[in-house]
Amino acid sequence: MLNTLSIPSDGPAAPLLIVHGLYGSGRNWGVIGKRLSDRGPVAAVDLRNHGDSFWSDSHSYEDMADDLAKVIEAHDAPMDVVGHSMGGKAAMTLAITRPDLVHRLIVADIAPVTYTHSQLQFIEAMRAVDLTRIEKRSDASAQLAAHVEDPTLQAFFTQSLDLRNKRWKLNLDTLAAQMENVLGFPDLSDTFEAPTLFLSGGQSDYVTPDHRPKIRELFPKARFVKIPNAGHWLHAEKPREFEASVRAFLDQAQ
């Protein structure tokens, strides 16, 4: 079972499951999850090979969707599901293969397509950190700066540091070996017929007009919203706007 951060609530809305992206964890979503818990219960998972969840040699979207299905079945199924980037692909796979478990779906800045860019440079940057010299997260950020210019990304990666044991809470070897799977998307023939929101950053190029035919093929009730002045990490760059968009969709979509 995936490690899960659960935020209880007396709110009447359906429970919400939050699924992080590559190199992330459920704790990245703690603030947004807490704010959205006024509606109803919220759960934020650590996907396999991330955070405090188990490590595996496999990192396919079918396997990740199965992991998420077990979480939902252990809670009060079905759930609304929010997934960002890699987590969005896992959530889409879940929604199409197990629509009985997903009430409504929000996909944050990703499309059901194969991408050509690689994320391996970040794995190499993390591997280059001398963990024996790390006493606090800022020590790791200083080393990451030699390979990762963006301070926001430096801080993001260091959230996956286990300072006490001087290790990454990321299975870097499997994630590197499975990068082709991460960049791809399963060949799925079924559809998800419930309301779906594709929420993108206005400055991101992860979801383009060219992707819309494929999105509508798999998600006939897809809606599209962009958050101005936000990039791929839209929930971190514009958390209040992200929260407002999620809240508006869930409060209105039936």
Catalytic residues: 85, 173, 232
Q: How far apart are alpha carbons 14 and 104 in whole angstroms?
A: 10
8 Å CB contact between 36 and 8:
no
Q: How far apart are alpha carbons 235 and 244 in whole angstroms?
A: 11
Kindly state the helix (H) or strand (E) to which residue 63 belongs, with its residue range: helix 61-74
Tell me how far CA of residue 183 lies from CA of 110, 124, 176, 250, in angstroms. Answer: 11, 17, 11, 28
Strand partners, 44: 5, 18
Q: 81 φ, ψ to 5°? A: -130, 130
Which of 49, 58, 61 lies closest to 88, judged by CA? Answer: 61
Find all residues with CB under 8 Å of 161, minimum gap 6, and list them. 134, 137, 140, 167, 168, 169
8 Å CB contact between 129 and 135:
no
Look-up of token digits 């405090």: 52
Q: Give the three-class secondary structure for 145.
A: coil
Q: How far apart are alpha carbons 84 and 107 in whole angstroms?
A: 6
